[in-house]
Amino acid sequence: MIYLDHAATTPVPRAVADAMYEVLTEQFGNPSSQYPLGLEMKRRVESWRRTIAGALGCDARQLFFTSCGTEADNWAVTAACWQNRHVGRHIVTTAVEHSAVLEACRWMERQGYEVTYLAPAQDGSITAEQVLDAVRPDTALVSVMLVNNELGNVYPIADIARGLAAKNPKALLHTDAVQGFLKVPFTARSLGADFITISAHKIGGPKGIGALYIGQRVKNPKPLLAGGEQESGLRAGTEATAQIAGFAKAAELRLENLEDKLRHMARIRDYAVERLTAIPDLKVLSAPGGAPHVLSVSLVGWPSQNIVNDLGQQGICISAGSACHQGKPSHVIAALKLPKKVSGGVIRLSFGPETTAADIDTCAEALQRHHDTRMPML
Ligand code: PLP
């Protein structure tokens, strides 16, 4: 199998699975229990929190575990609106956010909020000026992702944070960094956001565990789940200890020679551009300078779902866009307002540190065959 869908999820290395296995079987204590098995688990959870906080460049007390990136996104949107309920009822976000943010914003709309959804340029870019122009005195929250999951575009969060401080210092800033964490260099401080979402399964960790960074400007954050005292009383529920162990181990492994891994992924992406652009009718959509692990292209005229199915039959896993439903382009691709022939043929290749040039060769050959043997139908 050739796996070129690392933006969807990633394989878990053996060392991560082993760390989780130990916690599921021998070290299975509940961190709230007061005997040594529980106390030891509490100590370990805090040490894993420090590992992940270290990778994010924040204080461990500012990092809260959630059940996934989606949950962290939902929490950030509602907690920011709650804190700023006296500031106003306006949210600024983009039309290309993950649905975890978009649907949370739509839910706020149903509570009476007004949401500005900024449209990207045709290359997927969103500028800081565009975001800041939309900010008003009654803006409670600005939520802009760090790396787009379908295009790989990197958005200027630090510039937005600086501009926001000047234009509306009360507005809170959230960034969904699920696709940026350990893929593009940043720290919580360098971004300057008040909330940052991350998720384990995009970096070789297990599915079902994410985290939310909550910065110091957020006073008394609204709890996500009411119940026990876990996560400083903000997110009740017995800690998912094995998942947290796996998250920390995955972050630790990714951090080893991280720069080499990022350089390798960027080289693989550039090689894929070189190989794929040799195919007639193939157009690259990802803007230059994007995240190293995502490449969006269109085989102009050939329906993407047929490409994904055809390559899938040959053991090559690529994606037609994360939310491609019933032959319609995803909301991200739709927001680019491309001609139908282009948008209908969009596929995403995404890479990990283990992707090889030979994987790209096999994929490029399969795409060329698809082009040569199938009729364009768009
Ligand atoms: N945000 C982005 C940008 C993503 O790519 C994803 C996952 O695809 C999520 C949020 C959701 O994360 P999770 O799968 O952990 O809920």
Burial class (CB in 10 A: 0-12, 13-18, 19+), 248: buried
Question: pTM for the complete prediction?
Answer: 0.97
List the one residue out of 338, 291, 255 whose CA is nearest residue 52: 255
List the one residue out of 45, 83, 80 whose CA is nearest residue 64: 45
Q: Which residues of 257-295 are buried (b: 16+ CB within 10 A; e: fewer)?
A: eeeebbebbeebbebbbebbeebeebbebbbeebbbbbb
pLDDT at 369: 98
The residues facing 298 across adjacent strands are: 283, 346
Contact, 69 vs 212, CB < 8 A? no
Which residue lies with its CA nearest to atom 8 of ligand 1?
Answer: 8
pLDDT at 289: 87
pLDDT at 321: 64
What averages of pLDDT result for each successive group of 10 residues across the chain (378 residues)? Answer: 98 98 98 98 98 98 98 98 97 98 98 98 96 98 98 98 98 98 98 98 98 96 94 96 98 98 98 98 94 98 96 97 63 95 96 98 98 93
Catalytic residue check, 105: no
* Rg of the chain on CA atoms, in Å: 21
pLDDT at 185: 96
Three-state DSSP at 245 gives helix
Angle between helix 241-255 and 14-25 (nearest 10): 150
pLDDT at 377: 87
Query: Among 12, 74, 199, 330, which residue has the most ligand 1 atoms within 8 Å of its CB, making it the best to mutate?
Result: 199
3-state SS string over 299-330? ECCCCHHHHHHHHHHCCEECECCCCCECCECC
- Written as one string, the DSSP assignment of 65-127 is EESSHHHHHHHHHHHHHHHTTTT-SEEEEETTS-HHHHHHHHHHHHTT-EEEEEPPPTTS---
Question: Which residue type occupies 36?
Answer: P
| Alpha helices (H) in the chain, listed in sequence order | 14-25, 36-56, 69-83, 99-110, 128-134, 157-167, 188-191, 241-255, 258-276, 304-313, 331-335, 340-343, 357-373
pLDDT at 323: 45
Contact, 137 vs 112, CB < 8 A? no
What distance in angstroms lies between residue 211's CA and the mean position of ligand 1's atoms?
11
Query: Among 182, 202, 244, 293, which residue has the most ligand 1 atoms within 8 Å of its CB, making it the best to mutate?
Result: 202
Three-state DSSP at 284 gives strand
d(CA 317, CA 303): 16
Look up residue 363 and give its two tokens: 């994929």
Backbone angles phi, psi at 237, to 5 degrees: 120, 135
Look up residue 195 and give its two tokens: 């909330």
Conformational region of residue 57, where left means phi above 0, alpha means psi within -120 to 50, and beta covers everything else: left
Q: Which residues does a 6 A CB cutoff place in the pocket of ligand 1? A: 68-70, 73, 98, 100, 145, 149, 176, 178-179, 199, 210, 322
